[in-house]
């Protein structure tokens, strides 16, 4: 995860993008996604911190759209979506 964070902070394509989905295009994203569902608890731990809301992209990629269908079209921000995902995940544990 540290390599991905470093790439987000230093890769101009990610750094200057207005979309967190551009972070999924970084090469450092691929090994994280390939870990599959076993990485979900770590993703949730990171998303508890509101500044790490962009881990939502990894969460959605790992689950391939399954279980991420929330009321995202009604959310005011990605940060709020991340918080809702963490809450829903915790309720299932």
Above 70 in pLDDT, residue 69? no
Residue 64 has a pLDDT of 82
Could you tell me the end-to-end alpha-carbon distance of the chain, in angstroms, rounded to an integer?
23
Q: CA angle, 59 as apex, 57 and 60 as ends, to 5°?
A: 65
Residue 4 has a pLDDT of 96
Considering the entire predicted model, what is its pTM?
0.85
Above 80 in pLDDT, residue 34? yes
């Amino acid at each position: 995860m540290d390599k991905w964070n470093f790439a987000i902070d230093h890769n101009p394509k990610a750094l200057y993008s207005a979309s967190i989905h551009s972070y999924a295009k970084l090469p450092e994203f691929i090994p994280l996604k390939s870990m599959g569902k076993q990485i979900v608890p770590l993703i949730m731990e990171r998303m508890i911190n509101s500044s790490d809301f962009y881990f939502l992209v990894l969460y959605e990629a790992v689950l391939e759209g399954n279980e991420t269908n929330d009321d995202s079209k009604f959310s005011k921000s990605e940060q709020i979506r991340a918080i809702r995902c963490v809450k829903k995940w915790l309720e299932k544990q």
